[in-house]
């Protein structure tokens, strides 16, 4: 009884309610689930960069810095895209279209969070990681969001470079230099991004058409997009062989990635035959499971090879 009263009083107190809502809204600007998966790939990059365990302080400050920078980029994207987002059913309820956060508040949040992230990387990790993370931040927040997204149906292919950076950033945080193997991890995510996004886009193309965004299914139709999902899937499968062929990863990786790839190919072929929203959304969901498991497999393989 006592507890229920406290909860009711707090929830009906406008000051308290306002405060709680604001925190949620700022968090809503950060695309937390996407950033969480990016941090998984960055953490794996950190582990693969060394034969020992990576230093705890580098892992902590590195992941925090990369996470803050990615959240900042996501918040800028919400500001840049606010008029697009209010026209699309999927994004209509984001903090800016709902009027929960003003664009100045969102920009200030992005500036504070982004500066903290980059400063942390520069001072507590290493300058190269800070520069590369800043380049990814600008790549997504400015080059992709402000320009490419509205300019060309190849928007997400080029923009994918920024999204693919986290494993490289994690690697550089530990090694301090750019090494070829780290680029392989980036290449895998780069080739994965088009099937990841276009499968969602097939299901949501009317949203994008309404908002006037030139996504591939809007400009070139379903069939062209279905074909390109299959082609990029084949490219992605090829890139996933590189860690094994370059002897960065061993047999456990090869076995795991073959199973994951078989399922990805099965979804791509299903979507090729049937571009219904149900099938393409199922492929989109699998693409997320796939990228998480692929990085877990890379990690397991790394320690199996080292310790067995």
User: Which residues are at the interface with ligand HEM (CB under 6 A)?
Assistant: 33-34, 37-38, 41, 90, 156, 159-160, 163-164, 189, 193, 196-197, 200, 288, 291
Q: Does the CA dihedral 295-297-300-302 come out positive or negative?
A: negative
Q: Does 205 bind ligand FPP (CB under 6 A)?
A: no
Q: Which does 189 bind (CB under 5 to 8 A by kind): ligand FPP, ligand HEM, none?
A: ligand HEM
Q: Which does 136 bind (CB under 5 to 8 A by kind): ligand FPP, ligand HEM, none?
A: ligand FPP
- The Cα–Cα gap between 305 and 26 comes to 42
- Applying CB under 6 A, the span of 21-29, 102-110, 134-142, 243-251 interacting with ligand FPP comes to 134-142
117 vs 42, 62, 65, 130, 137, CA distance in Å? 15, 9, 4, 8, 11
Rounded to a whole number of angstroms, the minimum distance from the CB of residue 2 to ligand HEM is 37
CB contact at 8 A, 271 and 202? yes
Q: Does 186 bind ligand FPP (CB under 6 A)?
A: no
- Applying CB under 6 A, the span of 1-9, 19-27, 71-79, 179-187 interacting with ligand FPP comes to 71-79
Rounded to a whole number of angstroms, the minimum distance from the CB of residue 131 to ligand FPP is 12
Q: Does the CA dihedral 191-197-200-206 come out positive or negative?
A: negative
Residue with smaller CB distance to ligand HEM, 114 or 160: 160
Which of 79, 165, 184, 186 binds ligand FPP (CB under 6 A)? It is: 165
Size of the site for ligand FPP (CB under 6 A): 20
Q: What is the DSSP letter of 100?
A: S
Residue with smaller CB distance to ligand HEM, 160 or 217: 160
CA dihedral 109, 112, 115, 118 (to 10 degrees): -70
CA angle, 129 as apex, 127 and 131 as ends, to 5°?
70
Interacting residues with ligand FPP (CB under 6 A): 31, 34-35, 38, 69-70, 73-74, 77, 81, 91, 133, 136-137, 140, 149, 162-163, 165-166
């Amino acid at each position: 009884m006592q507890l229920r009263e406290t909860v009711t009083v707090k929830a009906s107190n406008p000051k308290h309610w306002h405060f709680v809502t604001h925190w949620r809204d700022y968090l809503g600007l950060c695309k937390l689930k996407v950033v969480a998966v990016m941090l998984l790939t960055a953490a794996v990059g950190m582990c693969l960069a060394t034969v020992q365990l990576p230093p705890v302080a580098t892992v902590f400050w590195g992941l925090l810095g990369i996470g803050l920078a990615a959240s900042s980029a996501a918040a800028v994207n919400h500001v840049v895209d606010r008029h697009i987002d209010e026209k699309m059913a999927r994004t209509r309820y984001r903090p800016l279209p709902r009027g929960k956060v003003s664009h100045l508040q969102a920009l200030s949040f992005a500036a504070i969070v982004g500066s903290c992230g980059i400063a942390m990387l520069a001072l507590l990790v290493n300058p190269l990681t800070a520069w590369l993370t800043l380049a990814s931040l600008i790549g997504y927040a400015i080059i992709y969001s402000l320009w490419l997204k509205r300019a060309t149906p190849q928007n997400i292919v080029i923009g994918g470079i920024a999204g693919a950076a986290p494993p490289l950033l994690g690697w550089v945080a530990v090694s301090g230099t750019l090494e070829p193997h780290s680029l392989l991890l980036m290449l895998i995510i780069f080739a994965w991004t088009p099937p990841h996004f276009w499968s969602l886009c097939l299901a949501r193309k009317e949203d994008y058409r309404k908002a006037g965004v030139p996504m591939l299914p809007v400009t070139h139709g379903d069939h062209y997009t279905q074909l390109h999902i299959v082609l990029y899937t084949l490219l992605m499968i090829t890139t996933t062989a590189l860690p094994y062929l370059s002897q960065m990863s061993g047999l456990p990786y090869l076995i795991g990635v073959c199973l994951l790839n078989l399922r990805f190919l099965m979804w791509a072929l299903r979507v090729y035959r049937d571009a219904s929203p149900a099938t393409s959304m199922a492929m989109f969901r699998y693409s997320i499971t796939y990228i998480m498991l692929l990085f877990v497999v890379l990690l397991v393989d790394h320690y199996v090879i080292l310790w067995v």
